[in-house]
Structure 1
Amino acid sequence: MSTATHVETIDMTRPGIPMSRLVKVELRKLVDTRAGMWLLISIAALSALVMVILIWVLAANDESATFEDFVGAMSTPMGILLPVLGIMSVTSEWGQRTGLVTFTLEPRRSRIVVAKLVSSVIAAVVALLVSVALGALGNVILGLITGDDMVWNLSGLQLAGFFLLHVIGLATGFAFGMLFMNTAAAIVLFFVYSFVLPGLFAAGASLMDWFKDLRPWIDFADAQTPLFEATMTAKDWGEFAVSGLIWFVLPLGIGIWRLLRAEVK
């Protein structure tokens, strides 16, 4: 007499996890962890501090400023902290050893990468909206203190450039995080790229004529300068695309290749 053996199989007909749910989960990860929560708080707090200091200095010296000046001042905290947010959204899986759970629930790792990038961009846009609102508030407060007319001289194109500039900064940090998969290493090397390399590029351009012609095509930070000024020409877009290929697309591509093949522990 034989006994029937029941074999467990995987139900391949069940629907996969929708991308919207993955994005919501990654957004929660940005605020649920202590590091992520304090980083978001720091972004808002430093933006407010920059606004207060700018108002104080201008009012003390009886000087005026425009809405463009206030929004431009917000570029400092945004340019430093948003890339760190992009880095941490990737490297936290490896530093906190949660990757095994994440990639077990969703084995298609490329979808996790997309969800992390989308959630980081959403968080960045919210932070940028807060910074623009603080810039507008600062412009109003300064006008009330000094009695000068409030100048709202920031065009829609410049505002779009401001958002694009910092979303690209976050995405570049995201690419560095993908490449190194280590928070400390990615942050240090990103700051080297952001603050050391531009000085070296400028020094090389001043000393070597051939490098002066080459610099716009390899200096991604310099190629982004016309974005906020809304003065991008066809040549500027070409330099932006080539330098972006070097400093964003290539690190991101290598990082995705590593992630798809890395052993998750």
Structure 2
Amino acid sequence: MSAEPLLRCQGVTVRFGGVTALADVALDVRPGTITSVIGPNGAGKTTLLGAITGMVRPASGAVALSGRDITARPAHARARAGIVRTFQNLEVFTNMTVLENVMTGCHRHVRYSALAALLRTPRYRREEQRCRAHAMDRLAFVGLDDLAQAPAGDLAFGQQRALELARAIAADPALLLLDEPAAGLNMAETRALGALIRRIRDDLGVTVVLVEHDMDLVMTISDEIMVLNHGCNLALGTPQQIQKNPEVVRAYLGDDDL
């Protein structure tokens, strides 16, 4: 693997009023890996994702993507650079079809103007056809292609989670940030999710950062794990190293989870 990290966070500090949510946090994410961020509730995990995507502005520190400093770049510019995020709460457009949901993920790559869309020019039609084909490919990747024309609101909860991932990978991300994707899933659905995340890394070459409370999922699919506690770095290592780290056990995992 490349020695240069795809994502580098250095000294990231975030404050909300008088509360310090992150304090001098550092994280390197190597390309082609799954890195999980774990920690107790309130440890700063989701805030870190916000700092990476540009939705949260750090008081100090730097965020770099592929060696380029993006700390001052707005969220939409980071999305164009290849950072895509999903959220813990479902963000499915229930009044649209499954295919239309995924096509919204493709649209950052379309090459037509608003006027071309209004006039439905040949270029617009070609681009929409390309977008539709790409969306169908991503639906097939997650196993939902046979439901392409179904209303998204009719899908079961686990299928809607898969739909969110299909939409995310339709944007062809370089870095995919997943915020508690296993929330609300049963054991079988969580295992299927883990297999899908591995395929996203292995087959599509997408680097993944995962914030997750399900320790079985984290320990099964992660290449590296970073542990946050009270907004600070506590530990970084392989799943085996994290499981054996006494500070992590005391702060978060607990003997019953090992």
Q: Same fold (TM over 0.5)?
A: no
- Whose Rg is larger? 1
TM, length-normalised to structure 1:
0.24
Bigger strand share = 2
Q: TM-score, normalised by structure 2?
A: 0.24
Larger helix proportion, structure 1 or 2? 1
